[in-house]
Amino acid sequence: MINNIMEDYIYTAKNQKITVDADDKWRLDQYPWHTTNKGIVARARRVSDPDWYPAGLITMARELFAFPPNNYRIVHINGDKLDCRRSNLKLVTAGESQKIELSRKKCVNEA
């Protein structure tokens, strides 16, 4: 099967390239995105955002997943936090997320 989803890019103020699905670019491109000190792509909450949006920083992954419950996490399957294509994002429980992070750290330490 051929994957017809086209990818596109959004750039942060520091010219970091974020990979997104072309279908999502129009919506995501309206915000100024940056990376946190942990490398997570995020934006500040705007006054014009709906009242139900969370306070503080909003990650691109949570924006794409329409804000799942707080006990869920979104992991980047390939480990690249700048790759925000939907095919690279997976919704998991907090416990599953912790196991994934620990296994990634173990792989890095063994390398």
pLDDT tens per residue across span 37-63? 999 999 998 877 777 677 788 999 999
Report the C-alpha gap between 87 and 64 in whole angstroms. 11
Which alpha helices (H) appear in 1-93, and where do they start and end?
22-28, 60-64
Residue 5 has pLDDT above 80, yes or no: no
Check pLDDT > 70 for residue 109: no
Distance CA 27, CA 31 (A): 8
Find residue 19's DSSP bridge partners: 9, 83
Residue pair 57/36 in contact (Cβ under 8 Å)? The answer is yes
In the predicted model, what is the mean pLDDT of residues 92-108? 78
Q: How far apart are CA 51 and CA 34, in angstroms?
A: 22
Q: How far apart are CA 52 and CA 13, in angstroms?
A: 27
Alpha carbon distance 63, 43 (integer Å): 10
Query: How high is the pLDDT of residue 1?
Result: 41
> Confidence band (pLDDT; 50, 70, 90) for 32?
very high
- C-alpha 103/C-alpha 99 separation (Å) is 6
What pLDDT, on the 0 to 100 scale, is given for residue 106? 64
What is the residue-averaged pLDDT of the chain?
A: 86
Give the mean model confidence (pLDDT) for residues 90-94.
92
Across-strand partners of 89?
76
